[in-house]
Every structure is written in C-alpha cells, then in structure tokens.
Structure 1
Amino acid sequence: MPSPAPPARSTWSGVLAGLGLIAFVDETVFHQLLHWHHFYDRSTTDVGLVSDGLFHAFGFVAVVSGLFLLADLRRHRALVVRRWVGGVLLGAGGFQLYDGLVQHKVFGLHQIRYGVDLLPYDLTWNVVAALLVVAGAVLTLRPGAPRTAAP
C-alpha cells in the first residue's frame, strides 16, 4: 500500500537532485574542462580552487540527499514522477538563475567567462535557466492525477 507521503516530497527530492546535477555540470564543464572561472574569482587561484572544492562538495551532498529521498519515496511507493522531474528542472534552473543573476551580477563573485563580450553568455545562461524554471513549474504545478512509480 502506498505511503501517504505528500507530493511535495517528490518535488523536494527532485530539487536537491537538480541542484546537485547542475552544480556538477557547472563545476566540471566551466571550472575544470574549460577553465573559464572558479566559484570565487576575487582572490588568488588557490582560493578559487578551494572555493571550487567547496562548491563541488555542496553539489555532491545535494544530489546524494535528493537520491536518498528518491529511494525512500520509491520504497514507500509514494514517488510522483512528474513532480520529481519538475523538481529536478526547478532545482537546476533555480540554481542557474541565482548563479547568473546574484553571483555573477549582484555580488560579482565570478563571471561566466573573462575577456569576451559577456552579453551573449549572460543571455544564454539566464534564458536557459528561466526556461528550466518554467518547465519545472509547469510539471510541478500542473493539475492531474499523480502517477507513482513502481518499486
């Protein structure tokens, strides 16, 4: 018999997994492979590398936490798949939008890339983030019978 877990648990599990996933992509692609920036670029390279390590640890904890919640939801047959996928998109898009607007522009902790015209990068970064948030909100808030996944 399915657990009476609220559908919001599926959403929060997805949000944590989405945060961790986008943090992994950002850290791997933009920090390590492309060397475009560090999580904190207002100091030495060593400080930037330490900040990257802390950012990576945050992402790892978020995704593992989200997956533990996912496993618990599946075990209790309480997973609402649509809400979980919506949560992943909300978490990924929400973090990317926060990063692009608050960390890049308000606090100036780092930019997407240096030595180039930032407008196309900023627009792409923030438009993709907004699209992820909208898609996640549509999936999460759309009325309809919740579908649960089989164990």
Structure 2
Amino acid sequence: MTDDVRRGVIGAGVLGFGFSALIDVVVLHLILRLHHLVSNRYPVSTVPGLRTNVLADGLFSLGAILVMGVGAGLLWRAERRADRPLPVRSLAGAAIIGIGGFDLFDVVVNHALLGLHHSTHGSSYYDPHWFVVSVLVVVAGVLVYRGGDRAGGSGA
C-alpha cells in the first residue's frame, strides 16, 4: 500500500467516523429523540435539563462536522497527491469501518463507561443490540476493504 493510499484510507475512515456521529445526533437525538448526549446526567423532563441536552447535542454536532472536515481534507489531499486514482473499494471499506467505529465508540464509551446516555432514555436494554450491530458494520467494512485489495487495488 502506497503512502497516498494509506493516507486516503485514513481520511476515509475519519470521514466515516464523523459522518456516523453526525447522523447519530441528527437522527437519534434530534429527530427521533430516543436520547440526548447527556440525558442520563441531565433529565430531559425539565426545561433546564432539556436545554443542557440540546446544547450538548449542538456542540457534539459541531465536533462531528469538524471530524468530517478533517477526514475529507485528508482524503482530498491524498487524492490530489496520488499519481493514479485511489482504490474506491478500499476507501469505501475504510469509511464503513469508520461508521461502525463511531458506533462502537458510542456504545462502549458513552453508554457503558461514562454512562452519559443509553440507546433509549433511561434504559440500557438496547445497548447490547447496538454493540452487535456496530460490530457487524465494522465487519462489513473490513470485507469491503479486503475486496478492494483482492481486486488488485483498483477498486473499480
């Protein structure tokens, strides 16, 4: 693997990580309102608690956008430096690994270790399910990534 491909794969993984974080906060926190970032610490049943949670969700969204920007910048820079197109399957696999990687980070760190929130307000019932789905997404990403390697690195 060349340095340009390695940089592109890292950029795609970081982009996927940030994308998953942004989708998580927009869909699960804001649209479906299954939980908020710090809903185990600040109850959403009070106005001050809800305000704190929405602020935390907003700051988290900005962080996710920043991470996506870093990943996109790394990927763009790698593509610009490469003397031939980067392998699409490897980049797609890395992005999928990044998506699942964020989900794993979320369930292990935010749900289990820090106890900031659970998959649904106040209940950890779905946390193991979220963990399993996250692992499956990472495995799918690894399979896509390896498929790019077997295709001679062309990814096309």
Kept in 1, the 8 Å contact 2:34–2:120? The answer is yes
- Residue 51 (structure 2) pairs with residue 46 (structure 1): yes
Change (3 A) 1:103 1:34: same
Q: 1:24 to 1:72 in 2, by over 3 A?
A: same
- Indicate the RMSD between aligned Cα atoms, in angstroms: 2.2
Residue 89 of structure 1 corresponds to 96
Worse-superposed segment, 68-77 or 94-103: 68-77
Instruction: Report % sequence identity.
Output: 33
Superposed displacement of residue 78, structure 1: 4.9
Which residue number corresponds to residue 113 of structure 1? Answer: 120
Task: Measure, in 2, the Cα distance between the counterparts of 1:34 and 1:147.
Answer: 40
Q: Which residue of 1 aligns with 2:139?
A: 134
**After alignment, is 34-43 or 71-80 more displaced?**
71-80
Partners of 2:121 and 2:55 lie apart in 1 by: 20
> Counterpart of 1:63?
68
Quickly say closer, same or farther: Cα 1:125–1:91, change in 2 above 3 A: same
The count of corresponding residues between Structure 1 and Structure 2 is: 144
More moved, 46-55 vs 83-92? 46-55
Per-residue deviation, 1:100:
1.2
> What is the TM-score when the length of structure 1 is the normalising length?
0.82
Q: Which amino acid aligns with 2:60?
A: F
2:35 is matched with: 37
**Contact 1:104/1:110, CA 8 A, preserved across alignment:** yes
d(CA) in 1 for partners of 2:30, 2:7:
33
Report the counterpart of residue 24 of structure 2 in structure 1.
Answer: 26
Q: Distance in 2 between matches of 1:133 and 1:123?
A: 15
- Which sections of structure 1, spanning at least 5 residues, go unmatched? none
Letter aligned with residue 30 of structure 2: Q
TM-score by length of 2: 0.79
* In 1, Cα distance between equivalents of 2:89 and 2:78: 13
Distance 1:8 1:102 in 2: 27
